[in-house]
C-alpha cells in the first residue's frame, strides 16, 4: 500500500525548477509553474510549438543528462520515455529534490494535484494518482463555488463588496453563456435587479433568501423607469447589501449600463462591471453564422433600431451604413424592419444581400429565418417574428449549413 501524500503549497518564486520533457504534459504543467515565479528550466529532445513559444522558461533542446537537477528545488519528469523519467526521479532522490513523475504518479516523490484558483483561494485535489478522478472532483468543487452551493464567507477571499453594485452581463439567453466571474458574483448577491432579457434560469437557481427585483416591473412610467432602477440599486446598496444588476448580453451594449455606473458613482456606491457575451455576436453564432470571415468582410457594425431612420434623435447615418460592404447587425429592429430595409436599399445596399433573422437566440425557442434584404420585411411579418430578435445583413448571413455545427 502507498502512504497517502502530504499536501503542501510550494513557494517557488526565484527557485530553480527543472522540467524534463517538452511535450503536451509539460505544456499543461508549465503555465502554473511560470506564474508561481519559479526559475523554470525545460530540458527536452523536442518541444511542442506552444512550449517553444512560452515566455519565462529557459529551454534547452537536448537529451537529459545526469547533473541537470543540480541546484533545483523541485523537478518534473515528463518525457514519453519511462526509462528517462525513472532516471530523472533517481537523480532527484539522490539529491533530495522532490520530483513528480508524470507517467506514474506513485513512482515520484511528489504528485501534482488537480488545482484551481478562485477568489483568492488555491484548491488542490489528489486522488491517489487517478488523474481523471481528481480532475472531476476539482471541477465539481469549482462548479459548486461558482453556483453558490459552497459560499465563501470570508471577506478576504471574495471581491464582493457589501454596500456595492456589480453590473453583470448575463449573456444572450443560454444560462451557460454567462461568464465565470458573473456567475460567481451572482451566487453571492443579496439582491438581484434583473432585466427582462437576463436568462431566467440564472434567477431560478438563486437561494431563497436572495431578493429578486424584476426591473421591468418597477412601478414607474416608461420615462421614469431608468431613474427608478437607479434608485432601487442605490437604496439596496446603501442598506449594506451586495446588489447584482443582471442584464442580458453585455451591460455596455445598448443596455444603459454606463448610465447605471454613473448613477452609482454619483451616489458614492462602489460599482464594478462584469462584461457579458453580447447577443450581437453570440446569437448569429448560435445560428451558425460568423459575424466576420476571412476575405469576406473586414468590418461588422452593431446598430440599434430603437429609433427609425430620419428620427430627429437618431445618431445613425443610414446612408453610410448602406455604403458598407461588411456585416450589419441590427438589434431592436424587427418592429420597424420595413424602414431599415428601405433606408439600406435606398442607400445602395444590393437587394439580394443575404439576411439572417434570429429570434430568441441561444435558447430552446430559437427561431431563424433566411431572406434577402429585399424580401426580409415580408418574411419577418409572415413568420410573426417579434422581439427579441437579431437581424444580420451581409455576405456572412448567407453562410450556414455546416453539418454538425451546433448539433445541426
Ligand atoms: C436592449 S438590447 C440589449 C442588448 C444586450 N445588452 C446584448 O449585449 O446582447 C435588446 C436587444 O438585443 C437583442 N437580443 C438580445 N438577446 C437576444 C436573443 N437571445 N435573441 C435575439 N436577439 C436578442 C434583440 O435585438 C433585443 O431587442
Q: Examine the pLDDT at 2 and tell me if it is beyond 70.
A: no
Query: What is the rounded CA–CA span in Å between residue 60 and residue 57?
Result: 10
Pocket of ligand 1 contains residue 288 by CB under 6 Å: no
- Give the pLDDT confidence score for residue 401 in this predicted structure: 74
Q: Examine the pLDDT at 120 and tell me if it is beyond 70.
A: yes
CATH class (in words) of the domain with range 280-398: alpha beta
Out of 123-132, 186-195, 237-246, 313-322, least confident range: 123-132
- Give the pLDDT confidence score for residue 155 in this predicted structure: 52
Higher pLDDT residue, 142 or 290? Answer: 290
Pocket of ligand 1 contains residue 171 by CB under 6 Å: no
Contact between 385 and 357 (Cβ < 8 Å) = yes
Pocket of ligand 1 contains residue 388 by CB under 6 Å: yes
- Give the pLDDT confidence score for residue 18 in this predicted structure: 98
Q: Mean pLDDT across the chain, nearest whole number?
A: 93
Higher pLDDT residue, 221 or 76? Answer: 76
**Domain ranges in the chain?**
16-112, 113-152, 165-274, 280-398
- Give the pLDDT confidence score for residue 1 in this predicted structure: 46
Q: Is 217 a catalytic residue?
A: yes
- Does the domain formed by 16-112 have CATH 3.40.50.720? yes
Nearest CA owner, ligand 1 atom 15: 279
- Cα 331 to ligand 1 centroid, rounded to whole Å: 6
Q: Is 195 a catalytic residue?
A: yes
Nearest CA owner, ligand 1 atom 21: 389
Query: What is the rounded CA–CA span in Å between residue 41 and residue 60?
Result: 8
The three cell numbers of residue 10 are 510550494
Q: Which residues pair with 372 in a beta bridge?
A: 354
Contact between 18 and 84 (Cβ < 8 Å) = no
Residue-wise pLDDT for 348-405, tens only, equals: 999 999 999 999 999 999 999 999 999 999 999 999 999 999 999 999 999 977 888 8
- With a threshold of 0.85, does the pTM exceed it? no
The three cell numbers of residue 360 are 430568441
Q: How many residues does the chain have?
A: 408
* Identical fold, 16-112 and 165-274: no
C-alpha distance from residue 26 to each of 21, 39, 71, 86, 359 (Å) = 6, 15, 20, 16, 45
- Give the pLDDT confidence score for residue 222 in this predicted structure: 64
Pocket of ligand 1 contains residue 362 by CB under 6 Å: yes
| Ramachandran sector of residue 108 (left: φ over 0; alpha: ψ -120 to 50; beta: rest) | beta
Out of 119-133, 185-199, 376-390, least confident range: 119-133
- Give the pLDDT confidence score for residue 241 in this predicted structure: 96
Taking the CA of residue 252 as reference, the ligand 1 atom at the shortest distance is 6
In sequence order, the 6+-apart residues with CB closer than 8 A to the CB of 227 are: 220
Q: Examine the pLDDT at 57 and tell me if it is beyond 80.
A: yes
pLDDT band at 163 (very low <50, low <70, confident <90, very high): very high
The domain 165-274 is classified under which CATH number: 3.40.1010.10, 1.10.565.10, 2.60.40.10, 1.20.58.220? 3.40.1010.10
pLDDT above 70 covers what percent of the chain?
96
Question: How many CB atoms are closer than 10 A to CB 209?
Answer: 6
- Which candidate in 68, 195, 241, 247 is catalytic? 195
Amino acid at each position: 500500500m502507498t502512504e497517502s501524500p502530504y499536501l503542501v503549497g510550494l513557494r517557488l518564486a526565484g527557485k530553480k525548477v527543472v522540467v524534463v520533457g517538452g511535450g503536451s504534459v509539460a505544456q499543461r504543467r508549465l503555465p502554473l509553474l511560470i506564474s508561481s515565479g519559479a526559475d523554470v528550466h525545460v530540458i527536452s529532445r523536442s518541444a511542442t510549438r506552444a512550449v517553444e513559444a512560452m515566455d519565462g522558461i529557459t529551454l534547452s533542446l537536448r537529451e537529459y543528462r545526469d547533473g541537470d537537477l543540480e541546484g533545483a528545488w523541485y523537478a518534473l519528469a515528463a518525457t514519453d520515455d519511462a526509462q528517462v523519467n525513472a532516471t530523472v526521479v533517481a537523480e532527484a532522490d539522490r539529491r533530495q529534490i522532490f520530483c513528480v513523475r508524470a507517467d506514474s504518479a506513485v513512482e515520484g516523490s511528489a504528485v501534482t494535484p488537480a488545482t484551481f484558483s478562485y477568489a483568492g483561494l488555491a484548491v488542490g485535489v489528489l486522488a491517489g494518482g487517478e488523474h481523471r478522478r481528481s480532475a472531476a472532483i476539482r471541477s465539481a468543487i469549482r462548479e459548486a463555488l461558482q453556483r453558490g452551493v459552497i459560499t465563501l464567507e470570508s471577506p478576504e477571499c471574495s471581491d464582493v463588496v457589501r454596500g456595492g453594485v456589480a453590473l453583470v452581463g448575463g449573456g444572450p439567453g443560454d444560462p451557460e453563456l454567462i461568464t465565470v466571474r458573473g456567475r460567481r458574483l451572482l451566487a453571492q448577491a443579496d439582491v438581484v435587479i434583473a432585466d427582462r432579457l437576463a436568462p431566467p434560469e440564472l434567477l431560478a437557481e438563486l437561494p431563497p433568501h436572495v431578493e429578486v427585483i424584476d426591473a421591468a416591473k418597477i412601478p414607474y412610467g416608461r420615462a421614469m423607469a431608468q431613474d427608478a432602477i437607479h434608485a432601487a440599486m442605490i437604496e439596496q446598496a446603501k442598506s449594506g447589501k451586495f446588489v447584482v444588476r443582471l442584464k442580458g448580453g453585455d451591460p455596455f451594449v445598448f443596455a444603459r449600463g454606463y448610465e447605471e455606473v454613473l448613477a452609482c458613482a454619483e451616489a458614492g456606491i462602489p460599482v464594478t462591471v462584469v462584461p457579458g457575451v453580447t447577443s450581437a455576436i453570440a446569437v448569429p453564432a448560435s445560428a451558425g453564422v460568423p459575424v466576420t470571415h476571412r476575405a469576406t468582410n473586414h468590418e461588422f457594425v452593431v446598430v440599434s433600431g430603437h429609433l427609425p431612420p430620419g428620427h430627429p434623435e437618431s445618431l445613425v447615418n443610414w446612408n453610410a451604413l448602406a455604403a458598407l460592404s461588411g456585416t450589419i447587425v441590427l438589434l431592436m429592429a424587427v418592429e420597424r424592419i420595413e424602414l431599415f430595409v428601405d433606408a439600406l436599399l435606398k442607400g445602395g445596399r444590393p437587394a439580394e444581400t443575404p439576411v439572417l433573422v434570429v429570434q430568441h437566440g441561444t435558447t430552446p425557442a430559437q427561431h431563424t429565418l433566411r431572406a434577402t434584404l429585399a424580401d426580409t420585411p415580408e418574411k419577418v411579418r409572415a413568420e410573426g417574428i417579434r422581439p427579441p430578435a437579431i437581424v444580420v445583413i451581409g455576405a456572412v448571413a448567407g453562410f450556414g449549413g455546416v453539418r454538425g455545427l451546433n448539433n445541426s
